[in-house]
Amino acid sequence: KAGVTQTPRYLIKTRGQQVTLSCSPISGHRSVSWYQQTPGQGLQFLFEYFSETQRNKGNFPGRFSGRQFSNSRSEMNVSTLELGDSALYLCASSPDSRVEKLFFGSGTQLSVL
């Protein structure tokens, strides 16, 4: 069974641009969560989608948004990039949105120059 797949693996953008990250969950999983990982702040919860609806949102500005498609695949968008948005963005999926069954992908490393 394939794991959580995130694309691209690496991204380099410049300040002010926008970026879209993609996540394909484990087959059969209906919930997708996104986390930001930085050396200074560690792992921080961004948001969670279940059956195409955002169920929870962390404490991030509105520049961070996401969506989930009917096949459970998810995208995350960051607009007007700032230098501080440089981070590893991790996607995690679970069968039924319970955190007990959360499986993480390897992440997309975003560098903002």
Partner 1 sequence: QQQVKQSPQSLIVQKGGISIINCAYENTAFDYFPWYQQFPGKGPALLIAIRPDVSEKKEGRFTISFNKSAKQFSLHIMDSQPGDSATYFCAASWGADGLTFGKGTHLIIQP
Q: For binding to partner 1 (CB under 8 A), which residues are involved?
A: 4, 33, 35, 42-45, 47-48, 55-56, 58, 90, 92, 97, 99-100, 102-107
Q: How many CB atoms lie within 10 A of CB 28?
A: 10
Helix (H, G, I), strand (E, B) or coil at 95: coil
62 φ, ψ (degrees, to nearest 5)? -65, -10
CB 33 → partner 1: shortest distance, Å? 6
Comparison of 15 and 91: residue with beta carbon closer to partner 1: 91
**CA-to-CA distance for 17 and 25, rounded, in angstroms?**
26
Comparison of 15 and 96: residue with beta carbon closer to partner 1: 96
